[in-house]
Amino acid sequence: MPILTTGRYAARFASTDADLRAAQSLRYRCFRGGDGLDADAFDSRCRHLLIEDRVTRTLLGCCRLMPLANGAGIGGSYAAQFYELSALQAYDAPMIEIGRFCIAPEAPDRADILRIAWSMMTRHVEAEGIGMLFGCASFQGTDAARYLDTFAMLRDRHLAPNRWLPRVKAPKVFRFTQRLRRKPNAKLALRSMPPLLRSYLVMGGWVSDHAVVDHDLNTLHVFMGLEVSAVPPARLRLLRAVSGQAFG
């Protein structure tokens, strides 16, 4: 089983039922609070990426990757429960949905954990010939007023191209492109932006024009997408260097 190590962390894919339960336990703690298992029918269709402390083997971060042969199957994705994604059905290359990304609240070096996660995903994406990554980026709580600068920045700089734009499907949404007229304070916008979303955008990603109000997980979330061909070469070189993989 391939393991990527860097500094104090190791990244690998789950290989046992115990690995999956550990990821579900961490997800429950991060998304719902307390002890329990955050499990659903999508888990069996995914590979589960684990980030552990190399010494203690403590699980500090995880996410799940669901492969799709192309956009024709996107209606069966987790995100399709909340977004009307028919525009993406025409996408004709392999895709991966990244979901349930979380980092333990007590974890040190959260940026390093995110970095090794992306490096492991880079290795997987290139090995599988993936053309697009997508998923939902979650903001804690359902009060959109906490994130107005972030939403204004997304409106001004990072909206999906029209050919891929997700449409409204969920019963309760915050249409930030229609409701906001303010100019964003960049410092406040970045401070309140989820780390996973921030890294998507740095690599050339884009978002939906509205946020979904998810009372089940007590979050707001936006759909995010990233075409692999759009990743800046310098950023890709950094991820490849961390992964330690030779590329031609």
Residue located via tokens 């409701």: 179
H or E element in which residue 11 lies? strand 9-13
> DSSP secondary structure string, 46-84?
SEEEEEEETTT--EEEEEEEEEESSGGGGGGSSGGGTEE
- Phi, psi angle pair for 197, to nearest 5°: -65, -45
Among residues 70, 66, 64, 72, the alpha carbon closest in space to that of 31 is found at 64
Q: What is the pLDDT of residue 245?
A: 44
**Would you give per-residue pLDDT tens digits along the chain (248 residues)?**
578 888 899 999 999 999 999 999 999 999 999 999 999 999 999 999 999 999 999 999 999 999 999 999 999 999 999 999 999 999 999 999 999 999 999 998 899 999 999 989 998 999 999 999 999 999 999 999 999 999 999 999 999 999 999 999 999 999 999 999 889 999 999 999 999 999 999 999 999 999 999 999 999 999 999 999 999 888 877 777 665 543 22
The answer to the question of residue 35 being in a domain is: no
Amino acid at residue number 209: D
The answer to the question of residue 8 being in a domain is: no
Q: What is the pLDDT of residue 243?
A: 59
The answer to the question of residue 30 being in a domain is: no
Tens of pLDDT, residue by residue over 167-225, are 999 999 999 999 998 899 999 999 999 999 999 999 999 999 999 999 999 999 999 99
Number of structural domains found in the chain: 1
Handedness of CA 214, 218, 220, 225 (dihedral sign): negative
The answer to the question of residue 49 being in a domain is: no
The answer to the question of residue 218 being in a domain is: yes
Q: What is the pLDDT of residue 105?
A: 94
The answer to the question of residue 15 being in a domain is: no
Q: Is the pTM of this model over 0.95?
A: no
Alpha-carbon span 218 to 180, nearest angstrom: 22
The answer to the question of residue 239 being in a domain is: yes
b/e per residue, 233-242, with b = 16+ CB within 10 A? eeeeeebbeb
Q: What is the pLDDT of residue 219?
A: 96
Q: What is the pLDDT of residue 1?
A: 53
Among residues 153, 128, 154, 138, the alpha carbon closest in space to that of 228 is found at 128
Q: How many CB atoms neighbour CB 221 within 10 A?
A: 23
The answer to the question of residue 206 being in a domain is: yes
Q: How far is CA 51 from the centre of its chain?
A: 15
Q: Which residue range(s) make up the domain with 180?
A: 64-243
